[in-house]
């Protein structure tokens, strides 16, 4: 199982002080340095979300990262013409299509692929025609997985937020839902990834989900890095991910 580190919140910290002033030599923290630290620690990829409102990652960030990282670049994006054109110029190894709500703090809930077949199809076709692998960030629901297969997506990323926020019996139900969804997606020939709300505490339960190829984790790693440093935080997460699969 591989780790993609989402560095959006490194940009969030930078934007808090230097929004509109990224050309200043003291603009910090530096996303390129953050990505390099993650790669040195063993991360298999760097994940960034270029939002329509540009609240953290900026256009120049994606192109600078494309030129400098040595691992895989995974671009999260909403299905909008503007961001699609940027993605086709950028040509990341992977694109993950996600929902966007301008009022949300971070992406909440999965993409309604089943209800947006006609809107998503041309975007996926254009990306795959440019040799970009496409993932859909969806709820662990059979109808959404079936829609991803119908659309010809290469992967699904199961939204683990409901599991991460649940407690007690509800948490076990959400874990069972993830397990069933992962089995179903794998049976359909889709690569199975997961992300949202995964941390150093619940990772041992995530290991109970079968067929997972990659986890995309951001907030928890960046939070831990405040106390341990970014490389140590990534190493610790990879170590936890390499625990016994159940």
Whole-number Cα distances in Å, 14 to 80, 131, 189: 25, 32, 40
**What pLDDT, on the 0 to 100 scale, is given for residue 126?**
98
pLDDT in tens, 171-224: 999 999 999 999 999 999 999 999 999 999 999 999 999 999 999 999 999 999
User: Does residue 18 or residue 88 have the better pLDDT?
Assistant: 88
**What pLDDT, on the 0 to 100 scale, is given for residue 54?**
94
Contact 109, 96 (CB under 8 A): no
**What pLDDT, on the 0 to 100 scale, is given for residue 107?**
58
**What pLDDT, on the 0 to 100 scale, is given for residue 244?**
64
**What pLDDT, on the 0 to 100 scale, is given for residue 24?**
79
Identify whether 196 is a catalytic site residue. yes
Q: How many CB atoms lie within 10 A of CB 84?
A: 18
For residue 245, name the pLDDT band (cuts at 50, 70, 90).
Answer: low
Q: Would you state the torsion angle of the CA atoms of residues 95, 211, 237, 161, taken in this order, to the nearest 10 degrees? A: 70
- % of the chain with per-residue pLDDT over 70: 96
> Residue 77 forms beta bridges with which residues?
97
Contact 216, 193 (CB under 8 A): yes
Which domains occur in the chain, in start order? 2-241 (3.20.20.70)
**What pLDDT, on the 0 to 100 scale, is given for residue 205?**
97
Identify whether 76 is a catalytic site residue. yes
Looking at 114-229, list the stretches that DSSP marks H as alpha helix, in order from N- to C-terminal side: 117-129, 142-151, 161-165, 168-187, 203-206, 219-228
Options 76, 94, 157, 214, the catalytic residue: 76
Options 39, 49, 56, 139, the catalytic residue: 49
pLDDT in tens, 227-240: 999 999 999 999 99
pLDDT in tens, 43-90: 999 999 999 999 999 999 999 999 999 999 999 999 999 999 999 999
Query: What one-character DSSP code corresponds to residue 90?
Result: H
The overall average pLDDT reported for the chain is: 95
Options 56, 139, 157, 196, the catalytic residue: 196
Backbone angles phi, psi at 84, to 5 degrees: -60, -45
User: Does residue 120 or residue 19 have the better pLDDT?
Assistant: 120
Q: How far apart (Å, rounded) are the C-alpha atoms in residues 87 and 136? A: 15
- For range 89-105, the mean pLDDT: 86
**What pLDDT, on the 0 to 100 scale, is given for residue 193?**
98
pLDDT in tens, 100-158: 876 655 656 799 999 999 999 999 999 999 999 999 999 999 999 999 999 999 999 99
- Give SS3 for 85: helix
**What pLDDT, on the 0 to 100 scale, is given for residue 243?**
78
For residue 26, name the pLDDT band (cuts at 50, 70, 90).
Answer: confident
For residue 20, name the pLDDT band (cuts at 50, 70, 90).
Answer: confident
């Amino acid at each position: 199982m591989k780790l993609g580190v989402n560095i959006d919140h490194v940009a969030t910290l930078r934007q808090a002080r230097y929004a509109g002033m990224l050309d200043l030599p003291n603009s910090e923290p530096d996303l390129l340095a953050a990505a390099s630290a993650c790669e040195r620690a063993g991360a298999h990829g760097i994940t960034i979300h270029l939002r329509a409102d540009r609240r953290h990652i900026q256009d120049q960030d994606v192109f600078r990262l494309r030129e400098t990282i040595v691992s895989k670049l995974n671009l999260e994006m909403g299905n909008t013409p503007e961001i699609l054109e940027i993605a086709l110029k950028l040509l990341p190894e992977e694109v993950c299509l996600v929902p966007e709500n301008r009022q949300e703090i971070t992406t909440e809930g999965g993409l309604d692929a089943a209800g947006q077949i006609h809107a998503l199809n041309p975007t996926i076709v254009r990306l795959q025609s440019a040799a970009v692998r496409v993932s859909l960030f969806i709820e662990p629901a059979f109808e959404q997985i079936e829609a991803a297969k119908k659309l010809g997506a290469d992967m699904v990323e199961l939204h683990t937020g409901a599991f991460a926020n649940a407690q007690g019996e509800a948490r076990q139900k959400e874990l069972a839902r993830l397990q069933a969804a992962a089995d179903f997606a794998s049976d359909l020939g889709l690569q199975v990834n997961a992300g949202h709300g995964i941390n150093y505490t619940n990772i041992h339960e995530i290991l109970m989900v079968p067929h997972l190829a990659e986890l995309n984790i951001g907030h928890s790693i960046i939070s831990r890095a405040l106390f341990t440093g970014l490389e140590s935080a990534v190493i610790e997460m990879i170590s936890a991910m390499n625990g016994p699969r159940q």
